[in-house]
Structure 1
């Protein structure tokens, strides 16, 4: 049986004409798609809590700006580990993905990458992540290894619960702990508050994302918060986003942040409110747009923290 050519495959979440489609040789494209290099929103959402925590910790430590080296390491680690996580998820979910319209074109269910080749690619990406982690102090290395627990169990949660987004939040928000840890070599209350806030943020934005698959998930009886909350999703988004903003505000207070950090937080909160105002569970394209807009919300918050650290050190 002939497998489809990569150039003939349309990945629903990916922008047409992205750099993977334009620049990579055909044999590499399925692996890039497996790691979601053509859909950078995932690594952005994994990276941003790292930068929030790093920015707040830098200001607390009296540094005029976050360490560019740490910021770069977090970037490389986010790309590598997001890719590894997606590869692992696709190996575990390959039969489910084949039954869902949005995911059946992925490299494994479409037959362009075997499960064995995907596993080898997973190991390669994990080794890159390990190389990044080993650049940190001993406490942070151990903390980073602990993140593997929620990563390992996440793909199985949709089979047994309507709340897989909660487990995704536990893993995707881990950077909220790591950014503080690499500066101080320990965890303090502001880092824990950022972590919990990022979990709530992730729980909400991934619920928006899950509404794209609501009907397919129901047909094959997979759990998701989109199915569970259904028409009450706007209320859930309001509670989760509101609580996340409140917890971030407390973290900023405990870390002695100044006015610019709170201005950034207010702008972040307004962007989240815009998502709730625009949300329409029956409009898949809009759900994807709102989900992706969280990158901009997170960057706004990051900018506020970086500028605040600079002004505090003057």
Structure 2
């Protein structure tokens, strides 16, 4: 939630300013976000329980250690799914009929790591649905399916482009950059178990290079969000967004390059690197949200 919530709120803020919203909309969006996060985590733990049991870092989790039964985990997953569906139903019919998309993405994700290092981009896709989903939940109240298809009365206009498109694409790259570094902790275990993470496949140096490239990629997406049209009435809302994105990208790159090099020295150094990277990555979303809210206030 610390990673996805700020972008859920960003999606809501953008749609609210453009189309307006009802008082309960933000409540249902937050309930949907909690349900989606809980469902994704539950499915990942259930599907990956055998892999987790063989990894020293994850062997103490509830399912591998036996402190929770698989049946209980499925009940929890069902509860979170119910939260997501109830919230979507309470928002509008488009939100409800599109609820299958994140569910399918969550189910597929644990299996991608068994096939290819594309798994890091898949988890990025899962979180990219956060701002897009929140935006659709509001926009569809006004435009129905046209909020997605762009087929408005008498003309075609993709209301989600460029803002929501570039923000969502940027989130996907941002999460992928974090996730490939997170996988450094399990590099040796992944190789033994046949988990095809990027670090396990290509090593530490390539991981650092790709994560920096992805960070430059998400920075470009967020800059395009804020600078797509200097004459657009929406440009003013991004006056703090652009410098915030630049600063956070530089911080992330610094942590990834310096911290990742130091992390090879010992397990303790790896732990410090992961904590620092987690904080820098998590702060990125909240800094962007704050920059948007400050201008809009």
TM > 0.5: yes
Paired position in structure 2 for 1:151: 106
Paired position in structure 1 for 2:293: 306
Superposed counterparts of 1:1-314, under 5 Å: 43-61=1-19, 69-185=24-140, 186-187=147-148, 188-189=160-161, 190-229=163-202, 230-252=204-226, 253=228, 256-259=233-236, 261-279=238-256, 280=260, 281-282=263-264, 283-285=269-271, 286-310=273-297
Equivalent pairs, count? 265
Inter-CA distance 144–213: structure 2 relative to 1 (3 Å threshold): same
Q: Distance in 1 between matches of 2:234 and 2:217?
A: 19
Inter-CA distance 243–68: structure 2 relative to 1 (3 Å threshold): farther
Structure 1: stretches of 5+ with no match in the other structure: 1-42
- Mean alpha-carbon deviation: is it higher for 298-307 or for 249-258? 249-258
Q: Distance in 1 between matches of 2:187 and 2:233?
A: 43
Structure with the higher fraction of residues in helix conformation: 2
Is the contact made by 1:97 and 1:103 (CA closer than 8 Å) also made in structure 2? yes
Inter-CA distance 77–217: structure 2 relative to 1 (3 Å threshold): same
Q: Distance in 2 between matches of 1:236 and 1:73?
A: 37
Higher relative contact order (CA 8 A, sep 6+): 1
Q: Distance in 1 between matches of 2:81 and 2:279?
A: 25
Is the contact made by 2:8 and 2:33 (CA closer than 8 Å) also made in structure 1? no
Give the aligned CA root-mean-square deviation in angstroms: 2.2
Residues 70-89 of structure 1 show CA distances to partners (whole Å, capped at 9, x for unaligned) of 33333332222212211111
Q: Distance in 2 between matches of 1:147 and 1:79?
A: 13
Paired position in structure 2 for 1:21: none
Is the contact made by 1:257 and 1:308 (CA closer than 8 Å) also made in structure 2? no
Residues 182-236 of structure 1 show CA distances to partners (whole Å, capped at 9, x for unaligned) of 2322132122222211111111111121111112111212111233452123322
Structure 2: stretches of 5+ with no match in the other structure: 141-146, 149-159
- How far the C-alpha of 1:256 sits from its partner, in A, is 4.2
SS at match of 2:99: helix
